[in-house]
Amino acid sequence: MPSAGCIKHDRARCAGLGVCEAIAPEFFEVGGDGEMVVLRADVAPEAEALVREAIESCPTQALSWSE
Amino acid sequence: MTSTRRLSDHNVSANSFWALTARQRDEVWRELRDHEPVSWQPPAEGGLMPIEDDDGYWAVVRYDDIREVSTNPEIYCSGEGVQLENIPEMFLEPTQSFLAMDAPRHSSLRRLVSAAFTPRRIATIEDQIRSQATRIVDDLLATGDCDFVHNVSMKLPMWTIYEMVGLPAEQQEEVASAADVIVSSNDEDVQAGREPLEVINDAVMTLMTAGLDLAEDRRNHPSDDLMTNLVQAEVDGEQLTDEEISAFFVLLSVAGNDTTRNTISHTAMALAAFPEQRDWLLADFDGRIGTALDEFVRWASPVMTFKRTVTQDTVLNGQPIAAGEKVVMFYPSGNRDERFFERPWEFDLSRSPNKHLSFGGGGPHFCMGQQLAKSQLRAIFGELLHRVPNLELGEPDYLLSNFVNGIKSMPCTLN
């Protein structure tokens, strides 16, 4: 499957708020322990826009995009 | 380094400033945004306790500058207090919890409760929130003309936060009233002839007692709620102290009640003042409410100020700031910054993107309850707009505060 890029997660900055999850629940999940997990790091081209929106919306700038 | 302080001609610390309407206040902020984006201000008037070496603070009023302060906690720290007003030491510990902490302690303590506020956890209680909203509107229709704040705005947030924490229903109203006092001790109605310090002391005692009683109960009878999580939690191998637990309880009480309540009141007013916006929303409520919610929250700007202390000499938007000096962010001003928002004084429910500052400007202190607040707003306006279409609101009675954009009461008629 072609991949447009991948999600990078900086755990030190992440506060587990779940803003990313509210936008793209197929890619992000905050677990019962308050830790956010990236469910799928590789992003298909058709999901790129949504994932980029989630990354940009992170209040603690804990997410980034890499080609 | 000495910073170049020159007291601004536009005083945003005086009670007379906070007694203005939101629109009038923004005219002053607009002057500052245009000509003095980082201005030196005198200490807040009406502080509970004057602090002798406090000579003032830097007021931060532009959108981009509020973002910069919020997202650089190493330079702009919270550990020395976050309220504009000086709060006596004796009240800081028992009331602020992780709000007035920095990493790493902030992250450890906040995580103990943040897991209860994630999208998936909120989704599990959404049905409860909806049925509670239905009940509130059932009661409103049965009651008829009444005070909107008491009968609608305050009910849903109070019920929701205390249901999550585990506080029994019969205690909720008394404890929520005490939480209100914490953010409104400057207001003469709230003081009722007493000294602000005495008023706030009583409120803190009520809250602490309720919090500690509940903690004690959950130690013996664990349940599925936040208080049980707190009494069972360990941070760095140690259990939380009673003081830490009760501070959590106070913070959740304050943050969980007045913010959403005031957003409900302000939004109800805005929907009445802009009927074409209400009609637009109603034409496809389920499809449009998601976007509209952010405009509700931008418009209301329920929290108006938070303070930070500068840890090292720095420069903000050209203004040198010395280590140890305070900066105060004015969120309603950032939310009306014409550099960032087009037509900022238009209530535009289709505004998108809408990256407002009402949940904070980003960074580790970003509002933990934002998903919860949105669920409540969605539920209560879904009920109100569909079932009370002819709701009319009378004159609001505003709270005098430099912290929360409060409405004490507002008559409503159902027609």
Specify whether the CB–CB gap between B404 and B259 falls below 8 A: yes
Which residues pair with residue B146 across a beta bridge? B412
Burial code (b: 16+ CB inside 10 Å, e: under 16) for B217-250 equals: bbeeeeeebbbbbbbebeeeeeebeeebbbbbbb
Question: Is there a contact between B370 and A30 if contact means CB atoms under 8 Å apart?
Answer: no
Q: Quick one: B6 exposed, middle or buried, by C-beta within 10 A (0-12, 13-18, 19+)?
A: exposed
pLDDT band (50, 70, 90) for residue B265: very high
B363 touches chain A (CB under 8 A): yes
Residue among B111, B359, B362 minimizing CB distance to A16:
B111
pLDDT at B102 over 60: yes
On average, the pLDDT of chain B sits at 94
Of the residues B118, B228, B331, the best mutation for testing chain A's interface (the one with the most A CB atoms within 10 Å of its CB) is: B118
Enter the ipTM: 0.87
- pLDDT confidence tier of residue B118, bands split at 50, 70 and 90: confident
- Residue among B107, B112, B118 minimizing CB distance to A21: B118
Asked if residue B2 has pLDDT above 60, the reply is: no
B264/B150 Cα distance (integer angstroms): 12
Q: Does A60 touch chain B (CB under 8 A)?
A: yes
Residues of chain A with Cβ-Cβ distance to B124 below 8 Å are none
Cis bond before residue B50 (omega within 30° of 0)? no
Mean pLDDT for the stretch of residues B386-392: 96
pLDDT (average), residues B168-188: 92
**pLDDT confidence of residue B268:** 98
Q: Which two tokens stand for residue B164?
A: 């999550």
At B287-322, the pLDDT tens digits run 999 999 999 999 999 999 999 999 999 999 999 999
Distance from CA of B108 to the nearest CA of A (A): 10
**Over the stretch B227-243, which tens digit does the pLDDT of each residue have?**
999 999 988 888 999 99
Rounded distance between C-alpha atoms, residue B168 and residue B205, angstroms: 18
Which of A25, A57, A61 is the closest to B119 by Cβ? A25
The beta-carbon neighbor of B118 closest among A18, A57, A59 is A18
Q: Which amino acid is at B5?
A: R
- Res B255: pLDDT: 94
Q: How much is the average pLDDT of B111-129? A: 89
Length of chain A equals 67
Q: Give the pLDDT score at B57.
A: 97
| Lowest mean pLDDT segment, chosen from A21-30, B45-54, B125-134 | B45-54
CA B168 from chain center: how many Å?
23
Q: Could you tell me what percent of chain B has a pLDDT over 70?
A: 98
pLDDT in tens, B75-91: 999 999 999 987 777 78
Write the DSSP string, A19-66: HHHHH-TTTEEE-TTS-EEES--EE-GGGHHHHHHHHHH-TT--EEEE
Under 8 Å CB pairs connecting chains A and B tally to 54
Going from the C-alpha of B350 to that of each of A52, B287, B293, B296, the distances in angstroms are 21, 11, 10, 11
Rounded to an integer, what distance in angstroms lies between the CA atom of residue B391 and that of residue B184?
A: 28
Band the pLDDT of B267: cuts 50, 70, 90: very high
> What are B125-135's pLDDT values in tens digits?
999 999 999 99
Distance CA A16, CA A60 (A): 9
The confidence band for A1, taking pLDDT boundaries of 50, 70 and 90, is low
A33 touches B at CB < 8 Å: yes
> CA nearest B189: which of B410, B398, B405, B415?
B398
Residues in chain B within 8 Å Cβ distance of A30: 115, 118-120
A21 confidence band (pLDDT: 50, 70, 90)? very high
